[in-house]
Amino acid sequence: MKTRALLLGGFAALAMTVGATPAVAGAASAPSDDPNTMIVGGHEATESYEWMASLQRSGQHSCGASLIDQQWVLTAAHCVQGANPGDLGLRIGSSDHTTGGTEAGVSEIVVHPDYATQSPNGDIALLKLDRTVAADPVDIAESAGAPNTPTRIIGWGVTCRTRGCGQPPEQLQELDTKLVADGRCTLSGVDSGTELCTGTTEPLSNACFGDSGGPQLRGEPGAWKLIGVTSRLGSPVPVCGTAPSVYTDATAYTDWIEQHASI
User: pLDDT tens for residues 55-73?
Assistant: 999 999 999 999 999 999 9
Active-site hit among 61, 78, 97, 112: 78
The verdict on whether 78 is a catalytic residue reads: yes
The verdict on whether 212 is a catalytic residue reads: yes
Active-site hit among 66, 119, 205, 212: 212
Same topology between domain 43-47+139-251 and domain 52-137+256-261: yes
H/E element holding 260?
helix 254-261
Q: Which residues pair with 228 in a beta bridge?
A: 249
Distance separating alpha carbons of residues 163 and 158, to the nearest angstrom: 8
Maximum Cα interatomic distance, the chain, rounded to a whole number of Å: 43
Q: Mean pLDDT of all residues in the chain? A: 81
Q: Which CATH architecture has domain 43-47+139-251?
A: Beta Barrel (2.40)
Rounded to two decimals, the pTM is 0.84
Predicted local confidence at residue 38, as pLDDT: 42
Q: Where are the domains of the chain?
A: 43-47+139-251, 52-137+256-261
**CA neighbours closer than 13 Å in the CB half-sphere of residue 26:** 24
pLDDT, average across residues 176-183:
92
Among 65, 87, 67, 63, which residue's Cα sits nearest to residue 75? Answer: 65
Angle at 74 between CA 248 and CA 236, to 5 degrees: 35
Whether the CA torsion 226, 239, 127, 95 is positive or negative: it is: negative
The verdict on whether 245 is a catalytic residue reads: no
Whether 19 has a pLDDT exceeding 50, the answer reads no
Contacts of 66 (CB under 8 A, 6+ apart): 51, 52, 53, 73, 74, 75, 137, 138, 214, 215, 226, 229
Distance separating alpha carbons of residues 28 and 36, to the nearest angstrom: 16
Active-site hit among 34, 87, 123, 211: 123
Predicted local confidence at residue 164, as pLDDT: 57
Whether 179 has a pLDDT exceeding 90, the answer reads yes
Question: What does CATH list as the number for 52-137+256-261?
Answer: 2.40.10.10
CB 131, CB 108: distance < 8 Å: no
